[in-house]
Structure 1
Amino acid sequence: MIGLLCLVASMLASHGASGQRVKVEPEVSSYPGQTVNLRCAFTDATGIQLTMVTWIYEPKGGERTNIAVFHPSFAPNYPDSPVKGRVSFSPSPSSMSSPSIAITDVRMTDEGKYICEYASYPSGNEQGITHLVMLAKPQNSASIVTVLAGSTPVVVARCESVDGRPPAEISWVTVVNGNATTQKNTGADNTVTVTSEYRMVPTAADNGKDLSCVVGHRTQVKPESFLLKLAIQYPPQVTIVGYDNNWYMGRTNGILTCNAVGNPPPMTTQWKTMSGEMPELAQITNNVLKVLKVDDSVNTTFVCEVSNRIGTGRDQVTVVVREPSVNPSNAGVVAGAVIGSLLALLLVAALIAVLVTRSRRQQQGYRANGGSDMKTRMFGGGKKASKNGTSGGAGSGGNNNGPMYGYNESSSHQGLGEKNNHHQPLTVGGRPEIVPTAPTAEDILLSNELDDVERRKFDELEAEERYDHFTGGAPILQLRPHDQDDMIGEYMDDDMESQRDGSVISRTAVYV
């Protein structure tokens, strides 16, 4: 038994060693119509006598056929075969070392095994095998199959690779659940058509989703991809929106909208009620139902039916009419009235506060400047203004924030001119006197009254006749007689008056 195993092993080793000496190309590919070269060589013939070379064709699933024979003593021979007339030794063999052949105008049916076999002595026959692969670029395509939504798997897409060699490889890329089935059909010219179908349970939710067919083939640089979108038809799916469960008596413009989706798109929309009667105040425009005013007749169930070529879908909503808890319009009016009243009260309070403040300031001003001292403060300390003994000239130590006056000694003897009209001139003993009248609110505002501290300060100064502490501005008005030019010098002398601090001020000038 052991001796038998050793014998078998030695025979296999001998065959393997001899097989390595016949050199051929493992595979050769070609397109139809081209010329293909099949090379063969015996690399080491030392100690071996080569007697004959035979090329044998073995189609896939067929029988072997001799197609070319070469013997050094005879001319090449080409037996009957599928390639007869198109096969020849190339170049013409001059020795047994390189008996290569060429096949012209190759066909798809020429694909198969081509065996270069040597007859030798004493080792026997040795051979090498070349696979001829015929190539044909297929025509690829993909299409979607329109189906109805249902509960059983159906073909939703189809992908084909027609007349290719070798057969194409088809795969599917998608997010929907399904599976593919593939079939291969060989044509008369040995090309192959590959058909793949994708099957799934079609639902309305899957309509429009992506589905890609990918075709890979040896003749293509990269796989070819076809993007498809599922086409699943289904009757309309209807939804009524707009009811907020707050339809109360008297509510206006209640709106219900009937939304529907389907494939193919919905064609018709119909509104009706479960009671069979549509409220009189309901208006229908396409898919919108509008209730102008809610009343008891609206207390019903509204139904919307939408149809397309596949079927009809419907939805319904039951409206419950409620009693209004608060009238929105009355609430708005009440709120507006309350806010308006508050604003009015705030405005009146502000006006009263302003008037009271002004009244207090006016009373304080008159108390600080009241009695016989009013005229003195207005005219600046009550000093004599001219040598004629007229009073009313401007002093230097009083409060000058009141009305300002000037004395005019013109020929017409108009007396004292005033800048504020709430004092009226009066002639007493041939001399003009000023009788103050009650000032108006405007005069009080324009007088720019001093506060209490400043008022008490000036009152004390006037009581002590401390004119030297007066810090008012320069005189803003100088009154002179304009009709007697020769009296200017005399006027200036009489107008000036010496003060205790050594300064000199004008009697007629008004200081601010």
Structure 2
Amino acid sequence: MCRLGIPLQFCRAEIPGEQSMMLKFGEPPEDGIEYFGDGPLTGQCGVRIQKVKESHDGIFKCGLTTNLSRTEVLGTVRIVVAKPPREPELILSPGSIGRNKYKNSEKLSITCSAPYGRPAANVSLYLDNQPLSREYGVTNYDPNSGNNSLAVQKVSYSLKWTDNGKTLRCVVNHIALDHPKEITRQLEVYYPPQPQPTIERFGYVIGRPGVINVTVDANPRPRFVWRVNDEKINEGRPDMSNRLETSTAVDMGRGVYLVELKIDSVQKSDTEKEYILEARNDEGAAEYHIKLSTSSEPEGFDLDAGYIIGIVIGVLVLLLLVFIIIFARATGRWCFAGGSTTRNIGESSDTESGRYSRTEVDSTSGRPRRPKIALSQLFRRNKDKVSGADTDTMRTIVSVDDEKVPDATEQTEKVNPSTETGLVYAELDLTKREQNIEPRRVSEDKTEYAEILYTKPEEEVTISDKK
């Protein structure tokens, strides 16, 4: 489609592989080619091709002539006709042992290419179903003719013994393909017999036949020899007593071999013997120690890594919760913050008593205080004796509110007249106290008490003497 902002007089098209043609709005198609657009008056000159050919790939040209000029204006656009690539190619570096035979940890260079695709194909390398990381990435080569392209992916990969028997896949995707093209190559990796921890077998019954089976990973196939205590038993042969017999190793595929040792009749002495299986090939050797037991397999013996990790995480979470609870209780936070606003303390000196002590009725704020005390503590009598007939002993409870500290510096006392003898109401500020009077400290859990000695003024003593 070519466009101009003014009406057109002529619309000409040059299609690769076709002759130049004049296109008119509303005319029927010729050889599958017709005008496309909203008409010359809109300044549009387009072409519709009903059946695209490979020869149409190339530069498309359109010539536009307006009503205001006799000069033709040319426009060009690149038309790409997709062409599928040829069969992919997979190239591997030669192995140290032979062609397509490699050793464990050997470096392998892999090249996957898809030639002659238009546009360039997408190539990917897989080891079985696992994508291989790209070391050099994908490189597209376009020849000078511009007719074809080459897509290449190169990967350098270190082989592991677990790669033995896996399939290397070169997969090609292209817009012109109905389904991907693929080429494969199976890897063969040589490695020694792989070590294993001590093997434990359970559930043997005294007096019944038993079988010891061991699976071994090795490539090429190793030679197997059993050692029972100090006696050697070659593969496929019985022992000297004919009670034990080994089987020929069974190839399970991809370097896995199953080896068995059969016991004619299990005896208690068989569970006390030392069983060792030796496997040896050209790459190395390994020994496998086996222990037999007549007891059943304990629960959780076959716990995998997932279960173990879950148990460890659960224990750690539990320890964290316990720590948080202890911390909150010790610092009085969160759900333990209810009793942190008010705390009861006893006076440690005359100065501290003056700063923190107040009676149950705070005359400054005018609202009652309700310290946390037991009923038995309210009716507790003072057993201490104070010398002097004119001295009454009164017990008052000291409670400290962290939010409020009295500012008064003078001691005031008010006597509340009452018809009952010995009943005294006192409002105290202990900032200034007589230095010769030692208060008694009474400590209780969370609630402390101070005994305050009240001495009658001289005026009251004189009045009572006159009476």
Q: Report the TM-score range of the alignment, normalised by the length of the smaller protein.
A: 0.3 to 0.5
Structure with the higher helix share, 1 or 2 = 1
Per the normalisation by structure 1, the TM-score is 0.34
Tell which structure's C-alpha radius of gyration is larger.
1
Per the normalisation by structure 2, the TM-score is 0.36
